[in-house]
């Protein structure tokens, strides 16, 4: 595993983060067992940074992780735990309230308490706002962050799925730095390459964390718009590069993300131990600029101007 300093913090994070969104599956006994095995295999492979959210598995993912921390209490000192909040799912069909985003002080403070309780820890290393609340009051968010920091419940703060203008707006009123922006980046969704997100990350030393890094390749991305011809073109180029680098096509995709100078940290969400370990191969590929552009061209179906 490779490790890298997380700017604006005292932390060193594994270059691949393990994503805990799928660790409870359908929440059957067998799925939970599989999820635990996945976590242990991630630890074994050297991952020291684990990504959560209050809503993953309806809270069960954090609870399962809490069970592991109970089994191995000394683990807490060796790992970084990120969690997120701000999405309020509709609970039942009969609920009056729709699924919504909520960055109100009361809701965020309650959510963080919930995460700490389920994980069985006193502090989150990194807390992120999950998806931009259309009703976000940046002053209220800054005040909430300050309360969480002062109480010791959260060490550092970040955002997720924020556009550059939203990051800028929040940064302008915060008394502490924004450490990370967790966004979807993959061969299908390249928004962050062109909407200023990754430029802003470089400018302000905000760490970009890529969720769904294999979307569009290992499995269809959310809202996949690739045609079968697009997919074929990408597959041909990936196969060629996989041969050249003596690895698997999906590892090339991770290398494609890792080459970006903003220093993207991909989150690996597989629950298959062999894949969790094999993702590390991407860290050692001497991936070239030429191949980056070849894959970009295959993705776009045309050369850059």
Ligand X SMILES: NC(=O)c1ccc[n+]([C@@H]2O[C@H](COP(=O)([O-])OP(=O)(O)OC[C@H]3O[C@@H](n4cnc5c(N)ncnc54)[C@H](OP(=O)(O)O)[C@@H]3O)[C@@H](O)[C@H]2O)c1
Site string for ligand X, 238-277 (x = CB under 6 A): ------------x----------------xxxxxx--x--
**56 annotated active-site:** yes
Q: Please, which residues bridge with residue 51 across strands? A: 19, 82
Q: How far is CA 15 from CA 134, 135, 209, 268, 296, in A?
A: 32, 34, 10, 10, 23
Site string for ligand X, 74-113 (x = CB under 6 A): ----------------------------------------
Residue 214 lies near ligand X (rule: CB under 6 A): yes
- When binding is defined by CB under 6 A, the residue of 68, 212, 247, 298 that contacts ligand X is 212
Residue 51 lies near ligand X (rule: CB under 6 A): yes
Look up residue 167 and give its two tokens: 């990051």
Q: Which is nearer to ligand X, 144 or 248 (CB)?
A: 248
The active-site residue, picked from 18, 47, 56, 287, is 56
> What is the C-alpha separation between 233 and 239, in angstroms, rounded?
10
Element (DSSP H or E) covering residue 4:
strand 3-5
Place of tokens 């929040």: 170
The tally of CA atoms less than 13 A away on the side-chain side of residue 83 is: 30
Cβ at position 276, least distance to ligand X in Å: 8
Q: How many residues bind ligand X, per CB under 6 A? A: 24
Cβ at position 41, least distance to ligand X in Å: 11
H-only helix segments in 72-186: 105-119, 138-151, 164-171
Residue 207 lies near ligand X (rule: CB under 6 A): no
> What is the C-alpha separation between 191 and 213, in angstroms, rounded?
13
Residue 19 lies near ligand X (rule: CB under 6 A): yes
Place of tokens 């735990």: 81
The residues assigned a catalytic role are: 56
Query: Given the rule CB under 6 A, which residues bind ligand X?
Result: 19-22, 51, 130, 160-161, 182, 211-215, 218-219, 250, 267-272, 275
């Amino acid at each position: 595993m490779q490790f890298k300093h997380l700017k604006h913090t005292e932390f060193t994070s594994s270059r691949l983060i393990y994503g805990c969104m799928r660790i409870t599956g359908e929440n059957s006994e067998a799925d939970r067992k599989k999820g635990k095995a996945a976590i242990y295999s991630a630890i074994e492979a050297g991952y020291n940074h684990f990504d959560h959210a209050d809503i993953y598995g309806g809270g069960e993912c954090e609870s399962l992780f809490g069970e592991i921390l109970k089994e191995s209490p000394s683990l807490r000192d060796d790992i970084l735990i990120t969690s997120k909040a701000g999405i309020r799912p509709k609970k039942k069909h009969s609920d009056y309230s729709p699924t919504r985003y909520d960055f109100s002080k009361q809701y965020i403070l309650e959510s963080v308490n919930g995460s700490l309780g389920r994980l069985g820890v006193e502090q989150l290393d990194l807390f992120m706002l999950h998806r931009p609340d259309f009703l976000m009051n940046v002053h209220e968010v800054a005040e909430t962050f300050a309360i969480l920091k002062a109480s010791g419940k959260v060490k550092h703060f970040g955002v997720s799925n924020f556009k550059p203008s939203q990051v800028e707006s929040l940064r302008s009123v915060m008394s502490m730095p924004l450490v990370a922006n967790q966004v979807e980046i993959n061969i299908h969704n390249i928004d962050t390459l062109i909407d200023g997100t990754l430029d802003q990350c470089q400018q302000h030393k905000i760490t970009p964390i890529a969720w769904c890094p294999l979307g569009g390749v290992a499995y269809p991305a959310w809202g996949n718009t690739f045609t079968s011809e697009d997919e074929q073109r990408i597959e041909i180029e990936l196969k060629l590069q996989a041969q050249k680098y003596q690895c698997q096509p999906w590892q090339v995709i991770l290398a494609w993300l890792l080459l970006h100078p903003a220093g993207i940290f991909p989150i690996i969400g597989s629950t298959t131990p062999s894949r969790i370990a094999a993702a590390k191969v991407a860290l050692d590929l001497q991936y070239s600029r030429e191949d980056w552009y070849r894959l970009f061209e295959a993705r776009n179906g045309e050369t850059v101007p």
